[in-house]
Amino acid sequence: MSKTSGEHSLLVLENYIGGKFVSCRSYIDSYDPSTGEVYCKVPDSGKEEVDAAVAAAEEAFPEWSARSPEQRAKILHKLADLIEANLEEFAQAESKDQGKTITAARTVDIPRAAYNFRFFSTSMLHHTTDCSPMDHMGCLNYTVRCPVGVAGLISPWNLPLYLLTWKIAPAIAAGNTVVAKPSEMTSVTAWMLCKLIQQAGVPPGVVNIVFGSGPRAGDALVSHPEVPLISFTGSTATAQRITERSAPYCKKLSLELGGKNPAIIFADADLDQCIETTVRSSFLNQGEICLCTSRIYVERSIYSEFLERFVAAAKKWKTGVPSDPSSKNGALISKEHLEKVRSYIALAKSEGGIIHCGEGLDQLDLPERNKSGYFMPTTVITGISDSSRVMQEEIFGPVTCISPFDTEDEAVARGNGVRYGLSATVWSKDVGKVHRVAQRLQAGLVWTNCWLVRDLNLPFGGMKNSGVGREGGKDSYHFFTEVKSITIKH
Ligand SMILES: NC(=O)c1ccc[n+]([C@@H]2O[C@H](COP(=O)([O-])OP(=O)(O)OC[C@H]3O[C@@H](n4cnc5c(N)ncnc54)[C@H](O)[C@@H]3O)[C@@H](O)[C@H]2O)c1
Ligand SMILES: N/C(=C\C=C\C=O)C(=O)O
């Protein structure tokens, strides 16, 4: 396995197929978002590589699926241990590859990757199936659940190892074998994981990782006839394409997509806690989390106080070099993405919006070598109509909009007034109001008086354009298995 290309001393990744590292004919440049420099070469895999990976996964399936859940769990716990033992190396790599802060990588991304393996291997031991006796017919009916076969897994760039392992762990714990394709922009920790997969004793072919672009490697995977199931996390536009391409094969799909998540803040909220958490929910990971708050509706009687305190706190949310432990935000993923995010600020200004903080790189005190990095300060906008594209479309950057409301009905209607329905937060000390509003919001996840508290037992997924299907706990078990009804006449 080559680690660096001698010529340019770049990191060169290889596919992991059938338990072996395999080089590719061509490669894609991958950038360090904090400097804008190419530092890594990612295989530009296509149909040939995907076909080889699917063949390896098919070959490994009979033996892996025949093992007991306990036997599989033992190996996955070992893998979790290995990730934890190498946490710092993984965190450094994730931060460099993605642009996120080292603190986020150390405290969120990599611990969660380890936990995904621990949680799903354990939870698979506890699921039961249904039994329905029909004594009057002399029959006993029951269900069994079987792994589906080769699972195709496609993940995005914002939480690279966190979301890749959120798919690999339940898929293989349930007895499937997998072909996974991480984002071509953030492939390094997936490649590092392959080494640990070998060390943990995961048999060859159970996990295959093929690197490459969406239109080549991703498309070859979703349109492969021998891959009956696709778990995808990414944008709504890509999900629509995947749905079309997989339709001829009637594949089982789970689609976790974008969001335009509202926070609804009532006058009786604990403002100290609310402002601290809502700044975090708006800006964590540069706002590049599908669950980030991007529309904040505040009850009019506290609007001015909220705005003033929120803007002051947002200005303190430091954007800086990812390796600096005092940085709260690092760099955005790419130049194109930075330009896209900035275009929404320009649009807001052209529509008469007020930009309270966030304009201009001049506000950031960056070292010379980071001046070409994709940094953007935290941005707060007011005075924008709900019908504006700024309030309707997912920006996926450190940008949030604030607007006042007068009544509970109005807040719910405006919260629901977008095509997305992933998550929402509600802030109030009135328990009745919190329940009422949470139940009326069109979102797959509602947090009240908190944000991003994750219980992996619960269903995770979105309504409307935010997705199809649910994963997590029992839902992951159901998604990664097929149910069969059996009738015994006695
Ligand atoms: N709901 C969630 O859980 C969740 C989590 C994280 C990110 N997201 C969403 O993901 C988006 C950001 O991620 P992104 O830009 O990487 O998304 P994306 O849709 O561009 O890419 C996601 C993955 O799909 C692959 N892909 C692209 N085109 C493909 C094709 N034609 N066929 C098969 N695969 C293809 C990419 O290579 C990548 O691996 C945002 O919209 C964000 O909200 C959602
Ligand atoms: N799938 C999860 C988070 C997705 C975040 C998107 O950016 C999770 O926490 O399980």
C-alpha distances in Å from residue 376, one per residue of 325, 380, 401, 489: 18, 12, 16, 67
Is 289 close to ligand 2, i.e. is its CB under 6 Å away? yes
- Quote the pTM value: 0.97
Query: Ligand 1, atom 2: nearest CA belongs to which residue?
Result: 256
Is 437 close to ligand 2, i.e. is its CB under 6 Å away? no
11-258+466-489 fold: Aldehyde Dehydrogenase; Chain A, domain 1 (3.40.605)
Instruction: Give the integer Cα–Cα distance in Å for 293 and 288.
Output: 10
Instruction: Give the integer Cα–Cα distance in Å for 256 and 239.
Output: 8
Provide the ipTM. 0.96
The label of the residue with tokens 């509600």 reads 426
Query: Ligand 2, atom 1: nearest CA belongs to which residue?
Result: 163
Are the C-beta atoms of residues 187 and 42 closer than 8 Å to each other?
yes
Domains of the chain by residue range = 11-258+466-489, 261-448
261-448 fold: Aldehyde Dehydrogenase; Chain A, domain 2 (3.40.309)
Known catalytic membership, residue 299: no
For residue 281, report the distance from its CA to the centre of ligand 2, in Å.
13
Strands 229-233 and 252-256: parallel
* The residue type at 84: E
Ligand index nearest the alpha carbon of residue 210? 1
Is 291 close to ligand 2, i.e. is its CB under 6 Å away? yes
Ligand index nearest the alpha carbon of residue 157? 1
Tens-digit pLDDT string for the chain (490 aa): 344 544 458 999 999 999 999 999 999 999 999 999 999 999 999 999 999 999 999 999 999 999 999 999 999 999 999 999 999 999 999 999 999 999 999 999 999 999 999 999 999 999 999 999 999 999 999 999 999 999 999 999 999 999 999 999 999 999 999 999 999 999 999 999 999 999 999 999 999 999 999 999 999 999 999 999 999 999 999 999 999 999 999 999 999 999 999 999 999 999 999 999 999 999 999 999 999 999 999 999 999 999 999 999 999 999 999 999 999 999 999 999 999 999 999 999 999 999 999 976 566 889 999 999 999 999 999 999 999 999 999 999 999 999 999 999 999 999 999 999 999 999 999 999 999 999 999 999 999 999 999 999 999 999 999 999 999 999 999 999 999 999 999 9
Query: Ligand 2, atom 9: nearest CA belongs to which residue?
Result: 454
CA atoms within 13 A on the CB side of 21: 15
Greatest distance between any 2 Cα atoms in the chain: 81
Is 166 close to ligand 2, i.e. is its CB under 6 Å away? yes
Is 158 close to ligand 2, i.e. is its CB under 6 Å away? yes
Catalytic residue among 94, 256, 288, 299: 256
For residue 382, report the distance from its CA to the centre of ligand 1, in Å.
29
Cβ partners under 8 Å of residue 115, min gap 6: 80, 456
Helix residue ranges, H only, 159-258:
160-173, 188-200, 219-222, 236-246
Are the C-beta atoms of residues 307 and 382 closer than 8 Å to each other?
yes
Residue of 219, 231, 233 best suited for mutating to test ligand 1, as the one with most atoms within 8 Å of CB: 233
Helix residue ranges, H only, 253-378:
271-283, 300-316, 335-350
